[in-house]
Structure 1
């Protein structure tokens, strides 16, 4: 198992919990909405990653394959969305990984301290469910050159400060 550093200035290390890879256009299944990458996580979760540029910043949206049909469709749940790390923010869409390379996904296991603790109602079905819903926090997507392309804290920002 590879260990990757967290770019937060700390010496914590997070284990690899999955991988992501580029999906060539000709290999996407018929009927699927447009996406650039697929991912597989330990524990059986899989899905799709959409890389877009808006307002000159690269953005990612990760969807869970909620209905396990292998297609990115309207029934799939938005897991997380956000801006790419600075070195990748100006990358062309779909160019974070080459076709032949796999990237790594690292994360820390999310442990809910307080069973009655809730981060509120997500409101719209289009809102992301968050990485905590699948048992992770501090999730990062890494290229094969071990460069961190994307990072999401999940709900960890509140839990770390509460333990001091």
Structure 2
């Protein structure tokens, strides 16, 4: 298993400096993740829809994906509801896992908060089990924190 290079934190800051459009920033963030991380099959975002209390598919790189995830359902919905990082070594062993891609074997989901408000989650899938290490988790947490500085909550 290869680790995720911490340079992506610096790269996301450089890439997004001066841009304030969430869609553009999330699209470029997902592209940066997809081209920078080995052994992954999907990288993208689900954004919280307050009115319907669900996560809606946002910008991503990879195969087609589930478009609606109920708050508290699957890995993404659980990570969002509990506001904690979920690193799943084997998605088939996660109760209630939503299989958008049958080739997904492991997953990491990181909640995104902007100005103390919940925006959504970063979701990364891998076609191999146990892809994400605790070191990867720290790097992706730092990446998400840096990314959140370039995002805003629309009211």
- Structure of greater Rg: 1
Normalised by the size of structure 1, how large is the TM-score? 0.30
User: Greater strand percent: which structure?
Assistant: 1
Bigger relative contact order (CA 8 A; separation at least 6): 2
User: Greater helix percent: which structure?
Assistant: 2
Normalised by the size of structure 2, how large is the TM-score? 0.32
